[in-house]
């Protein structure tokens, strides 16, 4: 059986890293080669959720390889057929906006552009406080674009943050399987 390779990109939704990193490790332990990729913010900012250097080390431990952190490292992913799909989890509102408008000035957005150029699926697991506000139109744009697939999502705290959306990260693997067959997993709204 041929080993499957995916790119797993982390954007700066730092509060979700604790949920996402075990899933990276589980995917790698399950026989998928994971190429980790980090946005400039994810790779470079210390926050109340942890130090950037610690997150990089933990991502390396989970995936088994050093994270890509540069534009130069992200650009060849698609053209050199380095992976069969890309997962962006967590995917922030800023990244949604850049992808929706064709801006590829971060390792994650350039990596996505590179994968799309090669006709590969890009799976987005949103985590944004403005998902039902400013980011909603970008979510809709990407849902209607070829080779973008969304991990089912819901409001994560409708009382305190009524516009906030977060994907059900446990459904990343199922979404990937559907995307590799050219299908959007359903139901998309995970209430």
pTM: 0.96
DSSP class per residue in 69-132 = -SHHHHTTTTTTT--SEEEEEEE-HHHHHHHHTT---SHHHHHHHHHHHTT--EEEEEEETTTT
pLDDT tens across 169-185, in order? 999 999 999 999 999 99
Whether the Cβ atoms of residue 47 and residue 41 lie closer than 8 Å to each other: no
C-alpha–C-alpha distance, residues 50 and 55, integer Å: 7
pLDDT tens across 41-74, in order? 999 999 999 999 999 999 999 999 999 999 999 9
Whether the Cβ atoms of residue 130 and residue 155 lie closer than 8 Å to each other: no
* Domains parsed from the chain with CATH numbers: 5-180 (3.40.50.1950)
């Amino acid at each position: 059986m041929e080993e499957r390779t995916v790119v797993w990109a982390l954007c700066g939704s730092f509060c979700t890293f604790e949920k996402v990193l075990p899933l990276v490790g589980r995917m790698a332990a399950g026989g998928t080669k994971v190429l980790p990729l980090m946005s400039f913010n994810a790779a470079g900012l210390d926050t109340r959720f942890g130090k950037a250097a610690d997150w990089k080390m933990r991502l390396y431990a989970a995936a088994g390889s050093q994270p890509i952190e540069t534009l130069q490292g992200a650009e060849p992913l698609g053209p050199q057929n380095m992976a069969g799909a890309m997962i962006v989890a967590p995917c922030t509102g800023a990244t949604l906006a850049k992808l929706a408008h064709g801006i590829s000035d971060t390792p994650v957005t350039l990596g996505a552009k590179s994968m799309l150029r090669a006709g590969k699926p890009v799976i987005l697991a949103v985590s944004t406080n403005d998902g039902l506000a400013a980011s909603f139109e970008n979510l809709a744009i990407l849902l209607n674009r070829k080779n973008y697939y969304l991990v089912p999502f819901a409001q994560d705290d409708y009382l305190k943050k009524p516009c906030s959306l977060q994907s059900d990260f446990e459904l990343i693997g199922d979404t990937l399987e559907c995307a590799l067959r050219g299908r959007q997993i359903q139901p998309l709204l995970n209430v």
